[in-house]
């Protein structure tokens, strides 16, 4: 309950907002009218909603936004972003009341958008997760003379923080190098693309001539094999494409998640307190088990 409702039930004698202390903590104040939130809403609402956004009564306000067909940043339905941000605002307020501290409003906003993007990706491509084959398929090594780059991105469901990782191996499964990096708040598709981009750069710098890249994200494959890749709205896709048109052989293939576990492990060891790239010339200890399993399967 908000403080106003607690007062009405004689559970409290302070109806004021614990964040701004300037108005009664009603539901509409909690989600819209509190001063800091107003700044954030103004920053992201579309012009078509702005006229009545701060004047509508709560039920109209909720219905209008939850039934809206507007797209946020031309990609995510606004109703998803709106609902997700309300939930994050509520969690943030609870942190202030029960923990005495909370993330900044800006951080709460990014988290709300990251979640909305995540729901949206799940709706658009539900087959990938729902019908994923339960079988475990081991790592597949490339042909002799070709090096293999496995890449992966990981987005934390709790924090919305995204990390990327990857590793280069020869056809016998020997570790050549690995990398890991925190990239901030983003969705899983962008994380997968960043992993690919950074991996490509490192492989090029290493002087690789024949490269097979393995990703477990089908969407990445679709985007990069599209005949109109030069007009793709995602700039990262265009940058990746320019990179691999250089003088080297690059083949991108999709593999199931189970055969990309080494890259997944690399993404998970990133340090989320810094944006620095972690580069490994020797396999990190966390990778020992998965590398041993991959090499063992090759020798069978």
Please name every residue paired with 236 in a beta bridge, in sequence order, or none if there are none: none
Q: Which is nearer to Zn ion, 19 or 191 (CB)?
A: 19
Supply the minimum distance, in Å, between the C-beta of residue 230 and Zn ion. 48
Of 28-67, binders to Zn ion (CB under 5 A) are: 34
Q: Which is nearer to Zn ion, 25 or 121 (CB)?
A: 25
Q: Which is nearer to Zn ion, 16 or 197 (CB)?
A: 16
- Establish how many alpha carbons lie within 13 A of residue 166's alpha carbon, considering only the half-sphere containing its beta carbon: 28
- Establish how many alpha carbons lie within 13 A of residue 211's alpha carbon, considering only the half-sphere containing its beta carbon: 30
Q: Does 92 bind Zn ion (CB under 5 A)?
A: no
Supply the minimum distance, in Å, between the C-beta of residue 40 and Zn ion. 13
Query: x-or-dash pattern for Zn ion, window 176-215, by CB under 5 A?
Result: ----------------------------------------
Long-range CB pairs of 87-94 (<8 Å, 24+ gap) are 87/112, 87/115, 88/112, 88/115, 89/30, 89/31, 89/37, 90/30, 90/31, 93/18, 93/19, 93/30
Q: Decide: 19 and 13 in contact? Cβ < 8 Å.
A: no
Secondary structure in 3-state letters for 106-134: HHHHHHHHHHHHHHHHHHHCHHHHHCCCC
CA distances to 22, 92, 126, 151, 267 from 104, rounded to whole Å, are 19, 8, 32, 32, 26
Quote the tokens at residue 237. 């896709």
Sign of CA dihedral 205, 206, 212, 218: negative
Supply the minimum distance, in Å, between the C-beta of residue 126 and Zn ion. 38
Supply the minimum distance, in Å, between the C-beta of residue 146 and Zn ion. 60
CA distances to 81, 143, 190 from 115, rounded to whole Å, are 8, 40, 13
Q: Which is nearer to Zn ion, 34 or 200 (CB)?
A: 34
Q: Which is nearer to Zn ion, 31 or 177 (CB)?
A: 31
Q: Which is nearer to Zn ion, 34 or 250 (CB)?
A: 34
Q: Which is nearer to Zn ion, 89 or 115 (CB)?
A: 89
Supply the minimum distance, in Å, between the C-beta of residue 33 and Zn ion. 7
The CA-based angle 122-128-132, given to 5 degrees, is 130
Supply the minimum distance, in Å, between the C-beta of residue 36 and Zn ion. 8
- The residue behind tokens 């607690």 is 6
Of 5-34, binders to Zn ion (CB under 5 A) are: 17, 19-20, 34
Supply the minimum distance, in Å, between the C-beta of residue 212 and Zn ion. 55
Q: How many residues bind Zn ion (CB under 5 A)?
A: 4
Supply the minimum distance, in Å, between the C-beta of residue 84 and Zn ion. 21
| Backbone φ, ψ for residue 185 (5° rounding) | -95, 120
Q: Which is nearer to Zn ion, 20 or 27 (CB)?
A: 20
Q: Which residues bind Zn ion (CB under 5 A)?
A: 17, 19-20, 34
């Amino acid at each position: 309950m908000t403080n106003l409702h607690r007062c009405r039930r004689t559970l409290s004698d302070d109806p004021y907002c614990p964040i701004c202390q300037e108005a009664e903590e009603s539901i509409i104040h909690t989600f819209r009218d509190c001063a800091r939130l107003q700044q954030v809403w103004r920053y992201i609402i579309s012009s078509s909603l702005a006229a009545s956004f701060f004047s509508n009564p709560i039920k109209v306000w909720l219905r209008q936004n939850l039934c809206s067909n507007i797209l946020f940043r031309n990609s995510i339905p606004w109703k998803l972003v709106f609902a997700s941000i309300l939930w994050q605002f509520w969690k943030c307020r609870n942190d202030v009341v029960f923990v005495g501290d909370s993330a900044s409003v800006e951080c709460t906003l990014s988290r709300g958008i990251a979640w909305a993007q995540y729901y949206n990706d799940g709706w658009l491509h539900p087959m990938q997760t729902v019908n994923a084959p339960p079988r475990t398929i081991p790592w597949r090594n490339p042909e002799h003379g070709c090096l293999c780059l496995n890449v992966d991105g990981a987005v934390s469901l709790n924090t919305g923080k995204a990390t990327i990782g990857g590793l280069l191996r020869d056809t016998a499964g020997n570790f050549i190098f690995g990398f890991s990096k925190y990239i901030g708040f983003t969705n899983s598709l962008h994380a997968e693309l960043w992993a690919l981009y950074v991996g490509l750069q490192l492989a090029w710098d290493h002087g690789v001539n024949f490269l097979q890249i393995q990703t477990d994200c089908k969407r990445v494959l679709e985007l990069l094999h599209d005949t109109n890749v030069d007009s793709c709205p995602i700039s990262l896709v265009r940058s990746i494409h320019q990179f691999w048109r250089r003088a080297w052989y690059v083949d991108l293939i999709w593999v199931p998640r189970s055969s990309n576990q080494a890259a997944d492990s690399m993404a998970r060891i990133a340090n989320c307190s810094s944006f620095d790239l972690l580069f490994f010339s020797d396999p990190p200890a966390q990778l020992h088990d998965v590398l041993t399993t991959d090499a063992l399967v090759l020798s069978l």
